[in-house]
């Protein structure tokens, strides 16, 4: 039996953990402590780590975990990622024996240029590319680069479970409401996810269908978001990447007004 668990780390990260009651695979274990505690409590051995990108809150556990478990570490090519044992590129497949897992590797540059996402078993591990009702900041990429990555993710099946690396959903919903407040699916999600957080539960994984219906960063082809960008940019016919860029810039400005 395969289990998938979001382990909270730091203030708002999730370390996604697959296990079969014996062996485990972790995605983006930025902090080794909560992972080791869970593995010890459930008597699991860590067989492999998958890394989406080089930021410390995703890679900070590599050295300690490699030392303790001699696990394989799959990661994009980047010398800033410690202890990598297998480097990955777009189109590669990660095949693991224990637990039996298989992931397609998709390049999703934008948040960082090295960013990879992993797709398998009906799940998408998108790191800091897509969040619940939001998306990662453009630290290294451009709107064109990120919009192309998001188009790749939009082509995945609607039922895909979206496993993001941060619990930012409620703040993202607050922002989404400022530009897409008439969207009934968004209003419904706001109520549902606020209740989920009030119970202390994760809002993730969500589904790609829900993100397509509510997440402004995945709705840059939607007439309502195009209309929003038209007005904000004073441009009659913005390209999809410009619509995305406008939503990104509006969110960055909104973030700057908050404590
Ligand atoms: Zn990041
Ligand atoms: Fe992060």
243 and 115 in one domain? Answer: yes
Q: Is residue 102 part of a domain?
A: no
- 23 included as an active-site residue: no
User: pLDDT by residue (tens digit) across 208-239?
Assistant: 999 999 999 999 999 999 999 999 999 999 99
How many angstroms separate the CA atoms of 132 and 204, rounded?
A: 7
239 and 112 in one domain? Answer: yes
Q: What percent of the chain has pLDDT over 70?
A: 100
Q: What are the φ/ψ torsions at residue 117 (nearest 5 degrees)?
A: -120, 155
User: pLDDT by residue (tens digit) across 93-115?
Assistant: 999 999 999 999 999 999 999 99
DSSP string, 32-100: HHHHHHHHHHTT-EEEEEE---S-HHHHTTHHHHHHHH--EEEEES-TTSTT-SEEE-TT-EEEETTTT
Q: What percent of the chain has pLDDT over 90?
A: 99
> What are the b/e assignments for 213-236, b being 16+ CB within 10 Å?
bbbbbbbbebeebbebbbeeeeee
- 144 included as an active-site residue: no
What is the CA(237)–ligand 2 centre distance, in A? 33
Instruction: Kindly state the average pLDDT of the residues 5-28.
Output: 98
DSSP 232: H
- 221 included as an active-site residue: no
Would the pLDDT of 65 be above 90? yes
Would the pLDDT of 131 be above 90? yes
Helices within the chain (DSSP H only)? 32-41, 56-59, 62-69, 143-154, 169-180, 184-198, 208-214, 223-233, 240-256
116-120/161-164 β-pairing? unpaired
- 58 included as an active-site residue: yes
> What are the b/e assignments for 241-259, b being 16+ CB within 10 Å?
bbbbbbbbebbeeeeeeee
168 and 237 in one domain? Answer: yes
pLDDT value, residue 59:
98
- 222 included as an active-site residue: no
Instruction: Kindly state the average pLDDT of the residues 65-79.
Output: 98
What is the CA(52)–ligand 2 centre distance, in A? 10
23-27/45-50 β-pairing? parallel
Provide the domain limits for residue 26.
Answer: 1-89
Whether the CB-CB separation of 106 and 160 falls below 8 Å is answered with no
- 128 included as an active-site residue: yes
145 and 59 in one domain? Answer: no
What is the CA(58)–ligand 1 centre distance, in A? 7
Q: Which of 28, 58, 114, 193 is catalytic?
A: 58
pLDDT value, residue 89:
98
196: helix, coil or strand?
helix
Q: Is residue 84 part of a domain?
A: yes
Q: Is residue 175 part of a domain?
A: yes
CATH of the domain at 69: 3.60.15.10
What average pLDDT does the structure give for the chain? 98
pLDDT grade for 125, boundaries at 50, 70 and 90? very high
Instruction: Kindly state the average pLDDT of the residues 167-177.
Output: 98
How many angstroms separate the CA atoms of 243 and 73, rounded?
A: 37
pLDDT value, residue 220:
98
Q: Is residue 47 part of a domain?
A: yes
Q: Give the alpha-carbon dihedral of 98, 103, 107, 111, to 10 degrees.
A: -60
Q: Which residues surround ligand 2, an ion (CB under 5 A)?
A: 57, 128
pLDDT value, residue 142:
98
pLDDT grade for 1, boundaries at 50, 70 and 90? confident
What is the CA(197)–ligand 2 centre distance, in A? 20
Per the listing, tokens 């703040």 go with 171
76 and 157 in one domain? Answer: no
- 166 included as an active-site residue: yes
Residue 29's region, left for phi above 0, alpha for psi from -120 to 50, else beta, is beta
pLDDT grade for 259, boundaries at 50, 70 and 90? confident
What is the CA(131)–ligand 1 centre distance, in A? 11
pLDDT grade for 48, boundaries at 50, 70 and 90? very high
User: Domains in the chain: how many in total?
Assistant: 2
Q: Which of 19, 23, 28, 53 is catalytic?
A: 53
Ligand nearest to the CA of residue 168, numbered in listed order: 2
């Amino acid at each position: 039996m395969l289990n998938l668990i979001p382990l909270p780390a730091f203030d708002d990260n999730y370390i996604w953990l697959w296990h079969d009651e014996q062996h485990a695979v972790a995605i983006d274990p930025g902090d080794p402590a909560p992972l080791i505690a869970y593995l010890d409590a459930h008597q699991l051995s860590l067989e492999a780590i998958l890394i989406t990108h080089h930021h410390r809150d995703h890679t900070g556990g590599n050295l300690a975990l490699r030392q303790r478990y001699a696990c394989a570490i799959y990661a994009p090519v980047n010398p800033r990622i410690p202890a990598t044992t297998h480097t990955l590129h777009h189109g590669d497949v990660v095949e693991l024996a224990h637990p039996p897992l298989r992931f397609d590797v998709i390049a999703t540059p934008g948040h960082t240029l090295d960013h990879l996402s992993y797709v398998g078993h009906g799940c998408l591990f998108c790191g800091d590319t897509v969040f619940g009702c939001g998306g990662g900041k453009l630290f290294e990429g451009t709107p064109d680069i990120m919009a192309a990555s998001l188009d790749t993710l939009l082509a995945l099946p609607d039922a895909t479970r979206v496993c993001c690396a941060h619990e930012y959903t409620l703040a993202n919903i607050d922002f989404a409401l400022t530009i897409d407040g008439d969207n009934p699916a968004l209003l419904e999600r706001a109520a549902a996810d606020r209740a989920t957080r009030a119970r202390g539960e994760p809002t993730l994984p969500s589904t790609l269908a829900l993100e397509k219906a509510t997440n402004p960063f995945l709705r840059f082809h939607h007439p309502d978001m195009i209309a929003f960008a038209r007005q904000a940019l004073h441009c009659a016919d913005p390209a999809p990447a410009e619509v995305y860029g406008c939503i990104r810039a509006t969110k960055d400005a909104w973030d700057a007004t908050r404590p």
